[in-house]
A and B are shown apart, each in its own frame.
Chain A
Amino acid sequence: MTNEAFDHITREKLKDYAAAIPAGLWEKIHVPAINAPQDPFDQFFKEKLQEITAPVSPELWNRIRPEEEKRRRIFFLPRKTSMMAASLLMLFIAGTVSAYIYFQQVRRSRNAEINATQTNQPNNNGTGTAGSATPGQNNTGPGNSSNPGTPAGAAASPVTTDAVDAGSSSTEQFSRENTRSSSGAADASANTVVFGKHRIGKIFRQQGTGTEASSTGNFTDSRDEDMFYAPSSRSNAALIPLQRKGHFASGERVVAYNNHAGSIKNIIICPSDKNLRNTDWDLEVFASPDLSFKTVSSNTASQQFMSRKDSSESARVGFTAGFRIVKPLNEHFLIKAGLQYAQINEHFTYKTADEIKTTTVITVRNITLANGTVVTVSDTSVLQQAVNKYNTVNNRYKSIDVPVLLGYQFGNDDLKIGINAGVVVNLNSSYKGVMLDSTLSPQPIDKNSSVGYKTNIGVGLYAGFNISKRINYNTSVFAEPYLRYNLSDITTPQSVYKQRFSVGGLSLGLRFNLNKH
Chain B
Amino acid sequence: MTEHELIKGCIRQEPSCQRMLFERYAGKMMGVAMRYAQDNMEAEDMLQDAFIKVFQYIGQFKFEGSFEGWIRRIVVNTAIRHLERKKMSFKEIEDHSPHNPQIDPHAYMHLGEDDLLKLISQLPEGYRLVFNLSVIEGYSHEEIAAMLNIQAGTSRSQLVKARKMLQNQIMQLQKIAV
Interface of A with B (CB < 8 Å)? 23-24, 27-31, 39-42, 44-46, 48-57, 60-61, 63-66, 68-69, 72, 307, 311, 349, 351, 353, 359, 361, 363, 365, 379, 381, 383, 385-388, 390
- CA–CA, A24 to B157, complex, Å? 9
B19, CB-defined interface residue at 8 Å: yes
Q: Residues of B contacting A29 with CB < 8 Å?
A: 153, 156
Q: Which of B40-55 contact A (CB under 8 A)?
A: 40-45, 47-49, 51-52, 55
Q: Which of A28, A311, A351, A383 contacts B160 (CB 8 A)?
A: A28
B62, CB-defined interface residue at 8 Å: no
A311-B45, A388-B38 in contact; A31/B141 too (CB < 8 A)?
Answer: yes
**Nearest chain A CB to B80's CB is how many angstroms away?**
16
B109 touches A44 (CB 8 A): yes
A42-B135, A46-B135, A54-B34 in contact; A385/B27 too (CB < 8 A)?
Answer: no
- When C-beta atoms are compared, the residue in chain B nearest to A307 turns out to be B52
A385 touches B124 (CB 8 A): yes
A48 touches B157 (CB 8 A): no
- CA–CA, A66 to B17, complex, Å? 11
Given A29-B156, A52-B34, 13 additional A-B pairs, CB 8 A = A42-B135, A45-B120, A49-B31, A51-B31, A60-B44, A64-B47, A64-B51, A68-B13, A72-B15, A307-B48, A311-B45, A361-B176, A381-B172
B156 touches A56 (CB 8 A): no
Q: Which of B15, B31, B35, B135 contacts A69 (CB 8 A)?
A: B15
- CA–CA, A31 to B134, complex, Å? 12
A31-B141, A66-B13 in contact; A49/B117 too (CB < 8 A)?
Answer: yes
- When C-beta atoms are compared, the residue in chain B nearest to A59 turns out to be B44
A41 touches B103 (CB 8 A): yes
A64 touches B136 (CB 8 A): no
Residue-wise, chain B 112-143 has the 8 Å CB interface mask toward A (1 for contact) of 11001100101010000001000110100100
**Nearest chain B CB to A320's CB is how many angstroms away?**
32
- When C-beta atoms are compared, the residue in chain A nearest to B42 turns out to be A388
Q: Could you name 7 residue pairs across A and B whose Cβ atoms are closer than 8 Å?
A: A27-B100, A45-B135, A48-B112, A57-B44, A66-B18, A66-B55, A385-B122
**Nearest chain A CB to B126's CB is how many angstroms away?**
11
Interface size on B, as a range, is 35 or more
B38 touches A387 (CB 8 A): yes
Q: Residues of A contacting B43 with CB < 8 Å?
A: 54
Interface of B with A (CB < 8 Å)? 13, 15, 18-19, 22, 26-28, 30-31, 34-35, 38-45, 47-49, 51-52, 55, 86-87, 99-100, 103, 105, 108-109, 111-113, 116-117, 120, 122, 124, 131, 135-136, 138, 141, 153, 156-157, 160, 163-164, 166-167, 172, 175-176, 178
Main secondary structure of the interface of A (DSSP, over half): mixed
Interface hub of B99, B136, B138 (most chain A Cβ within 10 A): B136
A42-B163, A387-B38 in contact; A56/B136 too (CB < 8 A)?
Answer: no
Q: Which of A54, A68, A365, A383 contacts B27 (CB 8 A)?
A: A54
- CA–CA, A57 to B22, complex, Å? 12
A31-B141, A365-B175, A385-B122 in contact; A49/B48 too (CB < 8 A)?
Answer: no
- CA–CA, A66 to B15, complex, Å? 8
A23 touches B47 (CB 8 A): no
B45 touches A49 (CB 8 A): no
Q: Residues of A contacting B34 with CB < 8 Å?
A: 52, 54
Q: Residues of A contacting B13 with CB < 8 Å?
A: 66, 68
B153 touches A28 (CB 8 A): yes
B99 touches A45 (CB 8 A): no
